Structure 1
């Protein structure tokens, strides 16, 4: 269906999307409630941190700080205020940074998105490539080498990979910077600034992608081996078709369906992995922001980061469902 040459979404797709959105609302509410009350169970608060840094933890000074931050009110009053502000798309105020939480998240989110999407793209491309090679050469030396390397990728912690890359490429070879997002000694602009950011991205991006390359390699290999045994692939080979087109058009195309599902589900894992990588490489993203908020007991900021991250994961899963349904016509989205 189209209006003035512009295609409109199918009614089934809109109905399916509406049902999925309604299913998401209780999930978001549960996340909001659990995040708020679980964080309140953690010992210490912002008033104690600030008083400790000021060297004055008298009862009077603590009472003033708690009143200033609204910590002197009951937890139910704080929760009601939090829900009221959240309903108005207000994530609160970070007293530690003297800025609204939303402004802090908006300033850091593009940096995390740049890191995550670059890592995900590299992981998917290399993982699918290695997995296809491994499946095509099953039982031979390329399969053995790739399987061994993917096992190493599964077993290696992200922070260790990051530290080893820093030691090799920053300390020993001095090829790449060890941390940060840009060179603070030079005020690069234009294309020079892009190159500077790209140089700072290399180590954190490959550190974060290392583990997920192993995942996509194993997943692609197993999916392709399964598809190779199906009747339509055997029929294509029996007709004497060229093995390469059969592999690309029939085997790999059908094997990509679980890859699409895994890509959507990996966003949450990438967010958690970015906390480690951003800390190791001093990358100014949301992961580093959440890490600092934990140590500073900045509950408002931590709540905002958790809510924003959870919302992104939910949206990515919803988009993955729609893409999967469009790629596989066997799925009924009524």
Structure 2
């Protein structure tokens, strides 16, 4: 427990400057883009006179200098105030709190499915490298990984929603259904079946190939021969010794892929019309809503950092040497 706390404290301290760099870089990157929320608003209403433009820019704080706006944003961020959305005319924090759970549910389900199934299939393939089973799973995973997620989502939607009519075609749940309790849980599960499947299958193939490679390499190490010499059963050697060592690169890749899965949810949410975090980012870009887009970037950075915190703790549990080195540092 002490090792985990030391590791967590060190990671939190090191993540603060990283988050600050992300915020400042993203702020100046958005400032360098042409147009702003006032331009988008004027375009939607067919233009306006100079007085209206000046009034809007003053009300949105766009008449101040870049450094003044940056300092104001950092001061607000320190108070956990993400600003005001120009496009939605609502606080950015309320929008994120409203949309983020849908994306976390989508990503969490897809990650659990891809990681669990990919690890299991990788163990099956890696225990007998070069076998017919290994070749079939390796070639199949390569084919799946080459398929674009949006295309797979469209195919699944056409097959299971349009043709077979087994599952809902879009949304996170039935609108105004009035369902509660278990009925609502089942309704949400039906709506998430296709988007979770489309997002999970792509990363399942990646986790399968990494686990397969790790298993094949670990089986060649001396401790496997020692375990066999002790008379341990094959299943115990594979699950308790080989698979544990092969999980290390897989857990590392899980942390690295957390940002990629968050970006992939943008496409899946658009295909299946899920009101989530990804679609909110798309709407912020279309409306040139810089405060909302900054809030989304900051929240995404915090999510990625939190996922890597969890990955570091799991990694330390799998490899005690990491915790020991952190404790001596």
TM over 0.5: yes
Q: Deviations over 1:185-211 (max 9, x none)?
A: 633222221111110000110111111
Task: List aligned pairs for 1:164-175, cutoff 5 A.
Answer: 164-175=155-166
SS at match of 2:320: coil
1:182 is aligned, of 169, 173, 195, to 173
Shift of 1:326: 2.6
Residue 51 of structure 1 contacts residue 61 of structure 1 at CA under 8 Å; is this kept in 2? no
Task: List aligned pairs for 1:77-88, cutoff 5 A.
Answer: 77-88=68-79
Where does structure 2 lack aligned partners over 5 or more consecutive residues? none
Shift of 1:318: 2.5
Identify the residue that residue 12 of structure 2 maps to in structure 1: 21
Identify the residue that residue 135 of structure 2 maps to in structure 1: 144
Identify the residue that residue 98 of structure 1 maps to in structure 2: 89
Structure 1 stretches of at least 4 aligned residues deviating more than 4 Å after TM superposition: none
Shift of 1:14: 3.8
Identify the residue that residue 279 of structure 1 maps to in structure 2: 270
Compared with structure 1, are the counterparts of its residues 156 and 41 closer, same or farther at alpha carbon in structure 2 (3 Å cutoff)? same
1:129 is aligned, of 120, 124, 149, to 120
More displaced stretch, 247-256 vs 305-314 = 247-256
Residue 278 of structure 1 contacts residue 287 of structure 1 at CA under 8 Å; is this kept in 2? yes
Distance in 1 between residues matched to 2:155 and 2:86, nearest whole Å: 37
2:185 is aligned, of 194, 200, 209, to 194
Residue 99 of structure 2 contacts residue 276 of structure 2 at CA under 8 Å; is this kept in 1? yes
Q: Deviations over 1:85-135 (max 9, x none)?
A: 111110001122121111111111111110011000000111011111111
Q: Deviations over 1:178-236 (max 9, x none)?
A: 11111126332222211111100001101111111011100110111111011111122
Shift of 1:56: 2.6
More displaced stretch, 132-141 vs 184-193 = 184-193
Distance in 1 between residues matched to 2:289 and 2:251, nearest whole Å: 36
Q: Is 1:162 equivalent to 2:147 in the alignment? A: no
Residue 85 of structure 2 contacts residue 289 of structure 2 at CA under 8 Å; is this kept in 1? yes
Distance in 2 between residues matched to 1:249 and 1:76, nearest whole Å: 56
Q: Deviations over 1:219-256 (max 9, x none)?
A: 11011111101111112224443222221122112212
Say how many residue pairs are matched: 325
Where does structure 1 lack aligned partners over 5 or more consecutive residues? 1-8
Higher RCO (CA < 8 A, seq sep 6+)? 2
Q: Deviations over 1:247-283 (max 9, x none)?
A: 1122112212222222222211111111111111111
Residue 171 of structure 2 contacts residue 273 of structure 2 at CA under 8 Å; is this kept in 1? yes
1:318 is aligned, of 300, 303, 309, to 309
Residue 127 of structure 2 contacts residue 219 of structure 2 at CA under 8 Å; is this kept in 1? no
> Normalising by structure 1, what TM-score?
0.93
Identify the residue that residue 223 of structure 1 maps to in structure 2: 214
> Normalising by structure 2, what TM-score?
0.94
Distance in 1 between residues matched to 2:161 and 2:282, nearest whole Å: 24
Identify the residue that residue 5 of structure 1 maps to in structure 2: none
Distance in 1 between residues matched to 2:7 and 2:240, nearest whole Å: 29
Identify the residue that residue 236 of structure 1 maps to in structure 2: 227
